[in-house]
């Protein structure tokens, strides 16, 4: 189980894929991340942006049913760009805003079967 100082839960990924399919959620990508993902997929930056980025160029498009376009189904969910996934995905569920937003903390704990509250 992974822990980080100050966070009220421990975490061990159960490969549910739930964190990649939160209704209303989105995956923000920086310009550097977009460049790295495009290279990983052997796409030009323009082709990557056209296929996988929202018009604002800062978020991934959604796949079916609010799912991330790179989420792969299976008994264990996977990420098609795991080696170059965005920082926000790497940091889940230890997002700083979870510490200041009780609603987001509840959402994280409800969404992710790998999150285990430490306070009972």
Residues that bind ligand SF4 (CB under 6 A): 20, 27, 68, 70-71, 79, 81, 85-86, 89
Instruction: For the CB of residue 44, give the shortest distance to ligand SF4 in the complex, in Å.
Output: 19
Q: What is the four-CA torsion angle of 17, 2, 105, 22, rounded to 10 degrees?
A: -10
Of 101, 112, 117, which Cα lies nearest the Cα of 10? Answer: 117
Residue closer to ligand SF4 by CB (options 47, 80) is 80
Instruction: For the CB of residue 34, give the shortest distance to ligand SF4 in the complex, in Å.
Output: 12
Residue closer to ligand SF4 by CB (options 89, 108) is 89
d(CA 62, CA 23): 10
Instruction: For the CB of residue 119, give the shortest distance to ligand SF4 in the complex, in Å.
Output: 27
- Please, are residues 18 and 113 in contact by the beta-carbon 8 Å criterion? yes
Residue closer to ligand SF4 by CB (options 86, 93) is 86
Partner residues linked to 68 by β-bridges: 62
């Amino acid at each position: 189980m992974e822990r980080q100082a100050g966070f009220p839960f421990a975490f061990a990924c159960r490969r549910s894929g739930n964190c990649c399919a939160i209704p209303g959620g989105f995956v923000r990508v920086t310009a550097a991340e977009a460049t790295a993902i495009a290279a990983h997929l052997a796409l030009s930056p323009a082709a990557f942006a056209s296929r996988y980025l929202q018009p604002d160029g800062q978020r991934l498009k959604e796949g079916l049913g609010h799912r991330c376009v790179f989420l792969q189904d299976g008994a264990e969910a996977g990420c098609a760009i795991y080696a170059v996934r965005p920082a926000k995905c790497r940091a889940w569920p230890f997002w700083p805003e979870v510490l200041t937003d009780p609603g987001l903390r509840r959402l994280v704990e409800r969404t992710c079967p790998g999150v285990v509250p430490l306070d009972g």
